C-alpha cells in the first residue's frame, strides 16, 4: 500500500476491467499540430502500467477553453495520433461532440485487455466545469459498475469538475497515477513534513496572488525569501524608497502584518538588499535595456526595480546552501529578458548545487528552470501552476480529496 494516504495505480487490480484515466493532455498546439508533447510523455508511465496489467484504458482530458461547446481547434485527435506513436500501439479516438456518445460506447464495447481509447475533449460538454451529475454519470457508464478510475492530472486537481471529481460519485474503485503520486509525495510532504531547515522562495509580480501562500508558509518554514515584483510592496511596507517599482498599495498593511508575524515566529524573512533597476519596463519584453544596481531602500524616484541585484543573489544563495528542503514558486525578476534573468538564474543555480530536496512549484519558476537548463538538477518540478499554488496555500484539492484512502 502507498504511504501517501491515497490508493495508487500499484494498489488496484485492473485486469479485464475498464479504467477511466484523467490525464493532462492540455498541450500547446498550432494549426492542429502539437508543439510540445511533454504532458503526453509525462502520462506514459501510468498508461503503460495499466496496459501491462491488462486494463482496458479509457483516457480523458480537457484541452484549451472551448467557449460554446465543441470547437474543432480544441479536438484531442492530434493527441490520439501522438499517443499511438509513443505507445507503439493504436489508440482509438472516440470523436463524439458529447464526449461519451455512440462512438465512445462502441469503442469501449470493442475493447480487449490492454487496449486504449481516448475520449474527446471533456470541455466539449458544458457540464464539465460546472461538475453536473449528468456528465459525471455518462463518463462512469462507459466504465461500468465493476470499473475503476485513476486521476493523473495534477494540473487540474484544484478544479472540482466532472472528470476530476464528480465521476468518483459513481466509480468507487479510485486511485492516483504516478504523476499525481509524485506531486503529493514531493509538494505535499515538502510543505507538511519537511526535513529542516526548510526554506521557501516566493517571487512573481503580485502579492495578491500569493497572500494565502505567504501566510501558510510562515507557519511552516525556517526561512522565507521574497523576490520578484512582490518584494517591492514588502520594501514599501518597511518604509523604503521604491521609485516606480510595482507596489500593491492595498497590500502594504498586509505586508507589515507578515513582517511582524515572521518576527514573532522567529522566521527569517529575507528581502532584496540591492536591486537591478531601469527607467521603464522592457517593451517588447526581451528588448535590450539599460540597467544599473542600487540599494533596495534607495531606488531613485524615476527608476523601477526589475530584478534582484548581485548582493541579494549571494544572500539568497547562502540561505539555500544550508537548507535541507527548498520550495520555490515565482521568478526573481523579468526572467524573459536576458539582462533581467540574472537573479532567477542565480537562484536556480543555487538550488541546483544544494544537497537539499528541491521542489519547484510549477508556473513561471518551472518554465525558468527548464529554460535555464537546470531542470534535471531539481528533485521535483510540479506540473501544476494553479494547483501547486493552492497546495502551497494548504488547501485540500478536490481532485485528490475524492480519491480513496490507502
Per domain, the residue ranges of the chain are 9-181, 194-392
| Alpha helices, H only, 194-282 | 211-218, 231-237, 252-265
Q: Beta strands of 56-212 (E only): which ranges? A: 56-60, 91-94, 116-119, 148-151, 174-176, 198-202
Domains 9-181 and 194-392 belong to one CATH topology: yes
What global pTM score does this model have? Answer: 0.87
User: What tens-digit pLDDT sequence spans the chain (406 residues)?
Assistant: 334 689 999 999 999 999 999 999 999 999 889 999 989 999 999 999 999 999 999 999 999 999 888 999 999 999 999 999 999 999 999 999 999 999 999 999 999 999 999 999 999 999 999 999 999 999 999 999 899 999 999 999 999 999 999 999 999 999 999 999 999 999 888 888 899 999 999 999 888 888 899 999 999 999 999 999 999 999 999 999 999 999 999 999 999 999 999 999 999 999 999 999 999 999 999 999 999 999 999 999 999 999 999 999 999 999 999 999 999 999 999 999 999 999 999 999 999 999 999 999 877 888 888 888 999 999 999 888 788 888 888 888 999 999 998 7
Q: Give every CB contact of residue 38 below 8 A, 6+ residues apart in sequence.
A: 27
Pick out the residues of the known binding site for ATP: 210, 305, 336, 362-365
Q: Beta strands of 120-177 (E only): which ranges? A: 148-151, 174-176
Catalytic residues: 39, 206, 363, 386
Query: Which cell is 23 given?
Result: 490525464
Pick out the residues of the known binding site: 24-26, 39, 62-65, 123, 159, 210, 305, 336, 362-365
Rounded Cα distance, 242 and 240, in Å? 6
- Topology given in CATH for the domain delimited by 9-181: Rossmann fold (3.40.50)
Pick the CATH number of 194-392 from 2.30.42.10, 3.20.190.10, 3.30.70.141, 3.40.50.1260: 3.40.50.1260
CB-CB contact of 356 with 324 (8 Å): yes
Pick out the residues of the known binding site for substrate: 24-26, 39, 62-65, 123, 159
Q: State the helix-helix crossing angle for 211-218 and 385-392, rounded to 10 degrees.
A: 40
Side-chain half-sphere CA neighbours of 273 within 13 A = 9
Amino acid at each position: 500500500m502507498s504511504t501517501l494516504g491515497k490508493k495508487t495505480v500499484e494498489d488496484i487490480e485492473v485486469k479485464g476491467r475498464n479504467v477511466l484515466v484523467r490525464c493532462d493532455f492540455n498541450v500547446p498546439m498550432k494549426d492542429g499540430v502539437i508543439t510540445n508533447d511533454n504532458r503526453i510523455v509525462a502520462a506514459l508511465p501510468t498508461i503503460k502500467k495499466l496496459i501491462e496489467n491488462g486494463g482496458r484504458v479509457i483516457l480523458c482530458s480537457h484541452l484549451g477553453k472551448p467557449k460554446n461547446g465543441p470547437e474543432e481547434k480544441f479536438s484531442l485527435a492530434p493527441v490520439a495520433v501522438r499517443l499511438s506513436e509513443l505507445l507503439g500501439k493504436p489508440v482509438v479516438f472516440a470523436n463524439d461532440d458529447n464526449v461519451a456518445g455512440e462512438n465512445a460506447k462502441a469503442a469501449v464495447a470493442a475493447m480487449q485487455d490492454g487496449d486504449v481509447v481516448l475520449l474527446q475533449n471533456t470541455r466539449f460538454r458544458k457540464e464539465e466545469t460546472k461538475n453536473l451529475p449528468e456528465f459525471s454519470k455518462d463518463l462512469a457508464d462507459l466504465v461500468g459498475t465493476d470499473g475503476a478510475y485513476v486521476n493523473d492530472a495534477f494540473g487540474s486537481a484544484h478544479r472540482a469538475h466532472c472528470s476530476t471529481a464528480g465521476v468518483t460519485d459513481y466509480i468507487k474503485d479510485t486511485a492516483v497515477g504516478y504523476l499525481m503520486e509524485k506531486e503529493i509525495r514531493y509538494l505535499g510532504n515538502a510543505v507538511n513534513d519537511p526535513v529542516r531547515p526548510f526554506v521557501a522562495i516566493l517571487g512573481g509580480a503580485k502579492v495578491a496572488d500569493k497572500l494565502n501562500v505567504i501566510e501558510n508558509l510562515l507557519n511552516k518554514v525556517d526561512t522565507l525569501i521574497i523576490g520578484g515584483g512582490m518584494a517591492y510592496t514588502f520594501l514599501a511596507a518597511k518604509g523604503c524608497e521604491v521609485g516606480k517599482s510595482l507596489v500593491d498599495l492595498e497590500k502594504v498593511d498586509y505586508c507589515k502584518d507578515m513582517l511582524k508575524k515572521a518576527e514573532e515566529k522567529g522566521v527569517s524573512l529575507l528581502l532584496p538588499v540591492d536591486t537591478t533597476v531601469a527607467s521603464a519596463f522592457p517593451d517588447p519584453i526581451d528588448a535590450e535595456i539599460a540597467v544599473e544596481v542600487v540599494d533596495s531602500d534607495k531606488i531613485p524616484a524615476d527608476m523601477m526595480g526589475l530584478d534582484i541585484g548581485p548582493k541579494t543573489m549571494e544572500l539568497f544563495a547562502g540561505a539555500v546552501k544550508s537548507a535541507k528542503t527548498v520550495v520555490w514558486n515565482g521568478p526573481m525578476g523579468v526572467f524573459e529578458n536576458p539582462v533581467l534573468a540574472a537573479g532567477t538564474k542565480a537562484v536556480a543555480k543555487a538550488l541546483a548545487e544544494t544537497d537539499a530536496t528541491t521542489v519547484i512549484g510549477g508556473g513561471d519558476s518551472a518554465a525558468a528552470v527548464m529554460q535555464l537548463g537546470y531542470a534535471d538538477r531539481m528533485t521535483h518540478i510540479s506540473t501544476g501552476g494553479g494547483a501547486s499554488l493552492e497546495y502551497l496555500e494548504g488547501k485540500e484539492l478536490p481532485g485528490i480529496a475524492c480519491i480513496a484512502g490507502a
